[in-house]
Amino acid sequence: MFDFGPFFDNIDLILEGFWATVRLAAAAAVLSFILGTVLASFRVAPIPVLRTFGTAYVNVVRNTPLTLVLLFCSFGLNDVLAMRLSGNSSTSYYWWAVFGLSAYTAAFVCEALRSGINTVPLGQAEAARSIGLTFTQSLRIIVLPQAFRAVIAPLGSVLIAMIKNTTVAAAASYAEAALVMKTILDAPSFTSGAIPLFIGVAVGFMILTLPTGFFFGWLHKRMAVAR
């Protein structure tokens, strides 16, 4: 039951799957933080159309299953509309997985960042307007830097959740760690060692998420905003 032989026999495939997970998580983290920042800016913008768009996006995406979002990207956009990002199908599915995971995670980044924006005293924004700064300048120079520092810990939680959500990327036909594990389990030559395989993959995800949590916890204490 606890024979780790099959796990180590397939270690090359498992490491390749985790490398695919790291690539997916890194790209999705960058894109989701950029898109989430833009959406948070929309939600606090003085223009009603932007606020409406930001609110509608967040409410719709947060209440839509991630699997459905990834299926929409993989089969709706990629296959039905033939909107391929490259001639290589595996590369195309990677980018659609990145796009779907980023679009989904951005809604949570937006809400975390908006809560940070609400912690910035209103008087600072009013002072910025009084010296002639535009809304965009006030947001970029004064509000957002403080907001990011205030929500480092929640953003770390969002990133950890996003790393674990990469296991759903199989819905977009992208072979990450979870899909590699399933492929190994479904192989006719695999007859025993399922529990050690599950344990090994779980430990692999812990190696990715625990240091991330510790880093964001340390960064939160280091960059805490004094009130």
Q: How far apart are CA 179 and CA 154, in angstroms?
A: 28
Shortest CA distance to 116 belongs to which of 81, 143, 151, 89? 151
pLDDT, tens digit, 9 for 90 and up, residues 54-80: 999 999 999 999 888 888 877 766 666
Q: What whole-number percentage of the chain has pLDDT above 90?
A: 35
Q: Is residue 117 part of a domain?
A: yes
Shortest CA distance to 173 belongs to which of 67, 74, 65, 66? 74
Total number of domains in the chain: 1
Return the pLDDT at 55.
93
Is residue 73 within 8 A of residue 97, CB to CB? The reply is yes
Q: Is residue 139 part of a domain?
A: yes
Q: Is residue 211 part of a domain?
A: no
Kindly report the CATH number assigned to the domain that includes residue 139: 1.10.3720.10
Residue 130: domain span: 22-174
pLDDT, tens digit, 9 for 90 and up, residues 172-225: 667 777 778 878 777 776 666 678 888 888 888 999 999 999 999 999 888 876
Q: Is residue 102 part of a domain?
A: yes
87 pLDDT more than 60: no
Helix locations, the chain, DSSP H:
5-9, 11-43, 48-62, 66-71, 89-119, 122-130, 135-138, 144-150, 152-165, 177-186, 194-222
- 130, 223, 224 from 215: Cα distances, Å: 38, 12, 14
Q: Is residue 142 part of a domain?
A: yes
Tokens 């979002």 map to which residue? Answer: 69
Q: Is residue 86 part of a domain?
A: yes
Q: Is residue 227 part of a domain?
A: no
Q: Is residue 32 part of a domain?
A: yes
What average pLDDT does the chain have?
A: 84
Task: Write out the two tokens for 67.
Answer: 């699997």
Output the pTM of the full model.
Answer: 0.85
